Structure 1
C-alpha cells in the first residue's frame, strides 16, 4: 500500500510543493512521534523510510514539502494494517510465504554485509590501492580528434582544406558522421590499446597539433585524425579509487563466501521436467 502510494504521489508532487510549505518542528529526531493510530505511534523515522520509496528524483525534495503527504500515507497504511490483522489476514498461507521470502532476502543480505565488513580492513584497502597504482602507472594516453566520413575522396578533400588552414573542429562539425562530430570530433583522452588498431597506429605517427596526411581506413569508414596531445595517464588518488576498490572487494568476498558455503552444503539441481541436472563444472 505505502509503496504504491509513494509511486503515485510522485505524479502530483511538483504541484503539491508549489502550494505547500509548512515548516516542520525544529530538528525532529527519528523518535519524534508524528501521528498516533489507535494509540500506536508513527515516528519521523517512518517518514524518512517512506521518502526513500519515492522515485530518485523526488528524494531530494525538502522533507517539509512532502511531510504531510507521507504522513497521510503512513496513517492510511496503519489503518489498513490494523484492520487486516483483526481479520486474521496475516495467517493466510500466501502471506506467510511472502513474508518468509522477504525475511530470507533480508537476513541473507545482512549476513553478506556483516561478513564483507569484517573482511575489508584498512590494510586490505591500502594493499588493493597499491595494485591500482601499479596497474595505472606508466600508461600513455592520447587526446585526438577525428572526422569520420564514408568516402575516401571527401576525406582527402578535407585534408586539403586543413592544409590550407581550415579549422579542424569546424570541419568535423560540418562533415563528420561520427557521434563526436558535434563536439568538433573530440575523442578526449583515450588509453593506448583502447582505439581501433588502424586508427591508433596512424595517430601514433603524429606530432602534437598535426593531422594525418592521408585518409585512414577502419571498419567504421574513412578518418582524418588530429593529435591534440599525449601524456602519461594520471594515477587515481585513493579517494577517487576507493568506491571501485570497495565494490570489487565486496563482490569478491561475497563470491568466496558462497563458494565456501557450497562446499559444506548438499545442493541438488533439477531441470524443469524434474530430472536431475548435471553437476556444474568445477571452476
Structure 2
C-alpha cells in the first residue's frame, strides 16, 4: 500500500487563490492587498490572518504597503532595464510556463471508473492494512537468562508489573529504560522470528519460551493486537485515481522529453 501511495502526484498540483472583487484588506494607489499578498508574507498556511491581534495585522499590512510602494518606485527608476532583473524575470517565466503546462497536462489524464476498478481488482493484495501489535520485550544475551526471567514472571502475582520491572533492570536493549515498551507497530515490521512469536500471543500475555533472533533472546509481552483488514474499493478509489494520473503524466513527460532531447543541443560540464 505504501509503495502505491508513494507514487501519487498530489505534490505536483498548483494551488491558486480565488478571490472575490471585495476580498482584499487595503489598497495602494488602487493596487489591492489581497489574501495572496498576506499569505506570501506569513509563509505559513496554518496562520489565520483574521485571528491575529490587530497590531500584528497592522504590521503585516504595513510591510506589504511598503513593499508595493518600493516596487513601484523601483519600476519608475528603471529597474526593468537592470540585467539581474531581466535574468530573474526570464527564469520566473520559464518556471511559471512549466508549472502551468504541468497543471494542464495533469488535467488531460483522467482515468475512467472502469480503469480505477480494474487496477483495484488486479492489486487487492497491495490494499491491505497489516495486523498492528502493541508490545514490550526483554532482550538478553543468553537463553538461560531469558528462561530465568520467564520463571520470575510466572511466579509473580502481577505479571505485567513484574515484566516491566525486569525489563528496566535486565534488558540490554534501548527500550529497557521504558520497561521494554516497543509501542504500536505493523506485525511484519520486526524480524521474522519476533513477529511470528508476537503474532501467536493473546492480548495481555507473554512468551513462555525464549524467542531467539539475531539480536539475542527475547521475552515478549503483547499488550494489544488489532487485526489487519483489506481496504474496500471506495476507501482507496481516490488514491488509485491520483496514482493513475501520475503514471500517465510521467509516461507522457518522458515521451515528450525524449523527443525534444533528440533535436536539442545539450552540454553537460
Q: Same fold (TM over 0.5)?
A: yes
Runs of at least 5 residues in structure 2 that lack an aligned partner in the other structure: 1-18
Is structure 2 residue 160 aligned with structure 1 residue 170?
A: no
For residues 206 and 232 of structure 1, do their structure 2 counterparts lie closer, same or farther at Cα, with a shift above 3 Å needed? closer
Is structure 2 residue 130 aligned with structure 1 residue 135?
A: no
Instruction: Give the CA RMSD over aligned residues.
Output: 3.6
For residues 31 and 43 of structure 1, do their structure 2 counterparts lie closer, same or farther at Cα, with a shift above 3 Å needed? farther
For residues 258 and 68 of structure 1, do their structure 2 counterparts lie closer, same or farther at Cα, with a shift above 3 Å needed? same
Q: Could you tell me how far apart the structure 2 residues matched to 1:34 and 1:140 are?
A: 50
Post-superposition offset of 1:85: 0.6
Q: Could you tell me how far apart the structure 1 residues matched to 2:112 and 2:48 are?
A: 32
Confirm or deny: 8 A CA contact 2:130 2:227 kept in the other structure: yes
Q: Could you tell me how far apart the structure 2 residues matched to 1:46 and 1:102 are?
A: 18
SS in 2 for 1:223: strand
Aligned to 2:197: 202
Post-superposition offset of 1:202: 3.1
Aligned to 2:104: 114
For residues 30 and 63 of structure 1, do their structure 2 counterparts lie closer, same or farther at Cα, with a shift above 3 Å needed? farther
Aligned to 1:31: 22
Confirm or deny: 8 A CA contact 2:149 2:166 kept in the other structure: no
Is structure 2 residue 79 aligned with structure 1 residue 89?
A: yes
Q: Could you tell me how far apart the structure 1 residues matched to 2:181 and 2:136 are?
A: 5
Question: C-alpha offsets along residues 32-68 of structure 1, whole Å, 9 cap, x if unaligned?
Answer: 453333x2322333444335x42455x2464453432
TM-score (norm 2): 0.70
Post-superposition offset of 1:256: 1.1
Q: Could you tell me how far apart the structure 2 residues matched to 1:131 and 1:77 are?
A: 56
Q: Which has the higher contact order (CA 8 A, sep 6+)?
A: 2
SS in 1 for 2:207: coil
Q: Could you tell me how far apart the structure 2 residues matched to 1:231 and 1:122 are?
A: 35
Question: C-alpha offsets along residues 126-150 of structure 1, whole Å, 9 cap, x if unaligned?
Answer: 555555644335x762525231434
Aligned to 1:76: 66
Question: C-alpha offsets along residues 209-237 of structure 1, whole Å, 9 cap, x if unaligned?
Answer: 54223332323343212345666512335
SS in 2 for 1:214: coil
Name the count of aligned residue pairs: 240
Q: Could you tell me how far apart the structure 1 residues matched to 2:179 and 2:106 are?
A: 43
Confirm or deny: 8 A CA contact 2:38 2:61 kept in the other structure: no
Is structure 2 residue 246 aligned with structure 1 residue 255?
A: no
Aligned to 1:188: 184
Question: C-alpha offsets along residues 101-153 of structure 1, whole Å, 9 cap, x if unaligned?
Answer: 1222222122222222331346255555555644335x762525231434335
Aligned to 2:14: none
Q: Could you tell me how far apart the structure 1 residues matched to 2:203 and 2:175 are?
A: 23
Aligned to 1:3: none
Confirm or deny: 8 A CA contact 2:187 2:199 kept in the other structure: no
Aligned to 1:54: 43
Runs of at least 5 residues in structure 1 that lack an aligned partner in the other structure: 1-27, 273-283
For residues 143 and 200 of structure 1, do their structure 2 counterparts lie closer, same or farther at Cα, with a shift above 3 Å needed? same
